[in-house]
Structure 1
Amino acid sequence: MEENMGYRIGQKITGTVTGIQPYGVFVSLDATVQGLIHISECGHGFVKALDEQFTVGQVLEVLVLDIDEYTHKISLSLRALDRGQDLVPQRTKKHYWTNRRIHIGFAPIAQRLPQWTKEAIEDLNKGENA
């Protein structure tokens, strides 16, 4: 689930700081919804003290990083906005040139080994008779 009361992952929102803790900053997005900017998302590099960087009542533009599917808690970021990104980076999917739907394993090799052995012996015998 990516939405919570109209909010979407990747959306830029203006909110007001309502609380500062050692682990992050709480931001009120509207009258009923609040999100958290974890200390690791407050800026690039080491952030020493959040209460020196933020004040209660301060208005911030934040980016919605995640919305928990079960608890509906909203994770916010300032750091992602500093990079000039409008959206959360998209995950790139690696493509492997295999067919994962076919589960062959080693059984077919064991099943074919007697036939291959028989054919190899026949080829050897043909070479001796020639």
Structure 2
Amino acid sequence: MVYRIGQKVTGTVTGIQPYGVFVALDESVQGLIHISECGHGFVKALDEQFTVGQQLDVLVLDVDEYTHKISLSLRALHKAQDLLPQRAKKHYWTNRRIQTGFAPIAERLPGWTKAAIEELNQRGK
């Protein structure tokens, strides 16, 4: 069979290496899913995510006509939010009714200024 870039195909995992997963597309053609194409974000260990004999739907990324190597992708078939665990939304506990702004600083500034001037005058004596 002739494989084309952008084609979605089903294959069988034949081997797992630290750098990627080998997938048999038919009896004579095998492709590689590089670790960077196995999922969105950080991929911890491929042998925990895949098993030999597992059926996968993959997308053909590249076909090298000279070496006949086929690059495959799982990541291209899924949206990022489908593969990543859902994050809990953070809620920041703030009281929005208190609107102090710079008022406390403005209230204390004359006292700070007076104390600083007194300290400077005492050092100068």
Shorter-chain TM band: 0.5 to 0.7
Q: Secondary structure at the match of 2:60?
A: strand
Q: Secondary structure at the match of 1:32?
A: coil
Q: Give the structure-2-normalised TM-score.
A: 0.62
Unaligned 5+ runs, structure 2: 81-125
Deviations 1:57-90 (A, max 9, x none): 0000000000012101000000000139xxxxxx
Residue in 1 that maps onto 2:19: 23
Q: Secondary structure at the match of 1:40?
A: helix
Determine if the alignment matches structure 1 residue 33 to structure 2 residue 29. yes
Q: 60, 64, 70: which is aligned to 1:68?
A: 64
**How many Å separate the matches in 2 of 1:69 and 1:33?**
13
**Counterpart code for 1:55:** T
Residue in 1 that maps onto 2:8: 12
Unaligned 5+ runs, structure 1: 85-130
Residue in 2 that maps onto 1:112: none
Identical columns (%): 86
Residue in 1 that maps onto 2:87: none
**How many Å separate the matches in 2 of 1:15 and 1:82?**
17
